Structure 1
Amino acid sequence: MFTREAIASFNELECSLYGYITKNAEKVAYMRIRELADENHVSTSTVLRFCRKVDCAGYSEFKVKLKMYMSEKQHIKLKSTQHSLSEFVERTLKGSFESYIQETARLIAQAESVIFLGIGSSGIMAEYGSRYVSSLGKSSLYIKDPFFPIQSKDSSNSVTIALSVSGETAEIIDLIKCLKEVGSTIVSITNNKVSTIARISDLNIAYFVTEEYSGKSNITTQIPVVYLLEAIAKELYK
């Protein structure tokens, strides 16, 4: 409802109004326009202008959309961690993952360096993977900055472990392209095999669990990623 573009367009009074609404959404949903204006020391025309900026024809439509917005947030049902783990065990460990793990470990062993790549929660996993591999004797680095400058001297004869749940993260796709151009071998860990990142990788490991979202935030479990990173590192140690 409150898009990035809409928020960027707010003036000082509208920003104050936005802050009040987000903190008091349940109350605002039943307030008259005059009550909301008086509470925030603004005019009703300011409230109406605010409504138009969030794509509402008027205050009545704004209150309807606000109630729907609140209802959507309240009815998000998340799977338990136990359910996610069971799903991973059932769908993933029955597959031919051992060969993918062994092949990834072999590629890393032959490379001069290993780079872990991810953004957001996948960036945290990239940092974890890099630390775990380094702890077992293979020096590595991680990149979770979408604007990280790729240098050929650091990336040639390297293996990049690219992490993305959706496999469609635009910033990761751009970084992969840069890394491929300087000679890095790309191994991706994604949630499916038909994504862009999976298709442009030299090797893809897909783990297939149900994706979950809270609003626009992807909150899909990272349990499969942790397992795969640790399994690759331990296979490399052997």
Structure 2
Amino acid sequence: MFSAENIANLNELELDLYKYVIENMNKVMYMRIRELAQETHVSTTTILRFCRNMGCEGFSDFKVKLKMHAKENNSKILDNSINAIEEFMERSLNGDLDESILKAAQLIADYNNVIFIGIGNSGFIAGYGARYMSSLGKFAMHIDDPYFPLIGEMVSNSVTIALSVSGETDSSLRLVNLLKSKGSKIISITNRKSSTLSKLSDINISYYISTENFLDNALEYRDVTSQVPTVYIIEALAREVNRLLL
């Protein structure tokens, strides 16, 4: 709908109108043409000319296509997750992760305590990881509070498993730096090996899938990148640790 060619043909007034529409898409879908004209300080004639430049017959046609555009974009973003997971599973079946997982599992087996950390969606997975690891006989806990008090033997004789899709979350980096300074070994599970968290870690396991953002009703982007690869890696780690400790 909003092709580069169409946008290139807009004059200055129409370009300002385009920016308003993009930033207020859910609102514009239900506005009358006069309401939009008043809101954007342009004439109804300018709006109609803008609609025609976008390939629409009029304002009503434009609103219909705008709704379809928003729905289509959101569906594409969510549908892409299936492809991303399939690609990850294919790589895992080829053994691409095996070496990193074996190395990390050996490190975990050598220490008494395991601390999972994560913020936001990664925090929920950290809780699952700690429970799963503990169920297989290795003591583990999780932290999703960046200001959690870190004291004593629990930290100094520990391995931290830090979960972060981007590897750039400030709260996670703060926790990792603090844990590292207190003697904890760091294993990170991230989407990219080039992230700051990866570079701070003793061992990094990267899964490389496409990041996904969802446009919500307030037209704010939410990170909905699949956590399936992280769960797979955590379970593989826990099972290998269990095998080493038998």
Normalising by structure 2, we get a TM-score of 0.69
| C-alpha displacement of 1:70 | 7.0
State the one-letter code of the partner of 1:176: V
Does the alignment pair 1:159 with 2:159? yes
State the one-letter code of the partner of 2:227: Q
Tell me, in whole angstroms, the C-alpha distance in 2 between the residues paired with 1:104 and 1:59: 60
- 1:222 counterpart residue number: 227
Q: Percent identity?
A: 41
Which deviates more from structure 2 when the two are superposed, residues 226-235 or residues 215-224?
Answer: 215-224
* C-alpha distance 203-70 of structure 1, shift in aligned 2 (>3 A): farther
- 2:21 counterpart residue number: none
| C-alpha displacement of 1:220 | 1.1
Does the alignment pair 1:28 with 2:31? yes
| C-alpha displacement of 1:224 | 0.8
Aligned with residue 237 of structure 1, among 216, 221, 242: 242
* C-alpha distance 29-218 of structure 1, shift in aligned 2 (>3 A): farther
Tell me, in whole angstroms, the C-alpha distance in 1 between the residues paired with 2:32 and 2:131: 48
- 1:4 counterpart residue number: none
Report 1:115-130 matches (<5 A).
Answer: 115-130=115-130
Q: Kindly indicate whether the alpha-carbon contact (under 8 Å) linking 2:114 and 2:139 is maintained by their aligned counterparts in 1.
A: yes
Please state whether the residue corresponding to 1:199 is helix, strand or coil.
Answer: helix
State the one-letter code of the partner of 2:123: G
Tell me, in whole angstroms, the C-alpha distance in 1 between the residues paired with 2:197 and 2:67: 34
Does the alignment pair 1:191 with 2:196? no
Please state whether the residue corresponding to 2:145 is helix, strand or coil.
Answer: coil
- 2:19 counterpart residue number: none
Does the alignment pair 1:205 with 2:205? yes
Tell me, in whole angstroms, the C-alpha distance in 2 between the residues paired with 1:230 and 1:116: 13
Q: Kindly indicate whether the alpha-carbon contact (under 8 Å) linking 1:92 and 1:208 is maintained by their aligned counterparts in 2.
A: no
Normalising by structure 1, we get a TM-score of 0.71
- 2:109 counterpart residue number: 109
Please state whether the residue corresponding to 2:167 is helix, strand or coil.
Answer: coil
| C-alpha displacement of 1:169 | 0.8
State the one-letter code of the partner of 1:231: A
Please state whether the residue corresponding to 1:189 is helix, strand or coil.
Answer: strand
Q: Which runs of 5+ in 1 are unaligned?
A: 1-20, 35-43, 49-57
State the one-letter code of the partner of 1:225: T
Q: Which runs of 5+ in 2 are unaligned?
A: 1-23, 51-62, 216-220
Q: Kindly indicate whether the alpha-carbon contact (under 8 Å) linking 1:122 and 1:163 is maintained by their aligned counterparts in 2.
A: yes
Tell me, in whole angstroms, the C-alpha distance in 1 between the residues paired with 2:67 and 2:170: 30
| C-alpha displacement of 1:59 | 5.2
Tell me, in whole angstroms, the C-alpha distance in 2 between the residues paired with 1:202 and 1:127: 22
| C-alpha displacement of 1:110 | 1.3
| C-alpha displacement of 1:109 | 1.4
